[in-house]
Amino acid sequence: MLSAHARVWALLIVSLPTSSSTARMRVWRGLKAMGAVALRDGAYLLPDDPTREEGLRELGDECIREGGAAWLMAVHSRSADEEAAYRQLFDRSDEYSALRAGWKEATREMAGLSASALTRLQRRLTREFEAVRGIDFFPGDAAAEADAAWQELNRRIAQLLSPDEPHEVQATVQRLDPHEYRGRTWATRRRLWVDRVASAWLIRKFIDPEASFLWLERPSDCPEQALGFDFDGATFTHVGDRVTFETLLASFGLEEDPGLLKLGSLVHQLDVGGEPVAEAAGFEAMLAGARERLDGDDALLAEVSGVLDSLYAHYTRAAARSSK
């Protein structure tokens, strides 16, 4: 009789001819990527679910095609102690510890990296972290500690990419008349990054077509008559859970535009995190490269504006298709 604690585990037993070294390596890599634990040579265990079972079945079929043999079985733990022992086999504490050691090393080197190198580093570390999280079937304290360290690492990268990042304020966003904001001077921190460059594009395209921009060395350099954005104390900045781009959307009644809302989601994810947007990584890489290549923020805004125009057109068409 099965224990009340029993769950189903998938056990794959395989054998391959000694001559099939390439196939053996391919199968081993596939099992490692899935997070399987080797109980002994040729016997691999995973918590069962339909997706993992299908993956094991495909690897077993590959063994058979290479002249070997494969058996895929469902097994059960017989007691709470045995169940705990099976779970312990999948403890990822060592993997998280190795990741965190790598993050500490990366932190020591980050200050000397260019923006494009920083974004490449962040993407690589993200892939490594997601690979471990994807096979952490029973997350515990080590996962929580790694997640906190990961948030801190990304905060440091964001500070390097965008110094003086504003803190959110708790306030009500007031609806404003865009006609009263025409022909104005707008000011933000120099060395534009995601929220600032997208906000500048939004201002010129939808709010103030005659806008002129000042790129500030320090937020304290902002003239009194200028409309500051995306720094602490600016006229337009982070409000609640809105980044500056989203604050501008709300301030000027642009939240009904589905293309702009999707762009806002992209900016939000890259600036403070949030729901993934498929185009975000590509936009971030493009921006990092452009910032390295171009001389000055006027040139950067001009180049990135074309990309944002295209993304806006794409999102608008996608929203129109989905509403039909």
pLDDT at residue number 2: 45
Residues 228 and 101 in one domain: no
Residue 11 has pLDDT above 90, yes or no: yes
Residues 29 and 143 in one domain: no
The CATH number given to whatever domain includes residue 13 is 3.30.70.240
Examine residue 71 and state whether it is found in any structural domain, yes or no.
yes
Residues 183 and 316 in one domain: yes
Examine residue 1 and state whether it is found in any structural domain, yes or no.
no
Look over the chain and give the mean of its residue pLDDT values, rounded to a whole number. Answer: 92
CA distance 266 to 312: 11
Of the listed ranges 42-46, 160-164, 250-254, 317-321, the one predicted with least confidence: 160-164
pLDDT at residue number 156: 85
Mean pLDDT of 144-155: 90
Residues 66 and 21 in one domain: yes
Number of domains in the chain: 3
Residues 124 and 234 in one domain: no
CA distance 147 to 269: 17
Examine residue 30 and state whether it is found in any structural domain, yes or no.
yes
pLDDT at residue number 1: 42
Single residue among 88, 106, 137 that ends a domain in this structure: 88
Express each pLDDT in 155-189 by its tens digit.
888 878 876 677 778 888 999 999 999 999 999 99
Mean pLDDT of 192-201: 96
Mean pLDDT of 199-217: 97
pTM exceeds 0.75: no
Residue 65: domain span = 8-88
Q: Residue 105: CB partners within 8 Å, gap ≥ 6?
A: none
Mean pLDDT of 218-231: 94
Mean pLDDT of 90-94: 96
Examine residue 110 and state whether it is found in any structural domain, yes or no.
yes
Residues 83 and 150 in one domain: no
Examine residue 190 and state whether it is found in any structural domain, yes or no.
yes
Mean pLDDT of 301-308: 97
Of the listed ranges 6-15, 53-62, 202-211, 214-223, the one predicted with least confidence: 6-15
Q: Residue 321: CB partners within 8 Å, gap ≥ 6?
A: none
251 pLDDT tier (thresholds 50, 70, 90): very high
Token representation of residue 247: 């604050």
C-beta of residue 157 within 8 angstroms of C-beta of residue 122: yes
Residues 224 and 318 in one domain: yes
Better-scored residue on pLDDT, 21 or 263: 263
Examine residue 264 and state whether it is found in any structural domain, yes or no.
yes
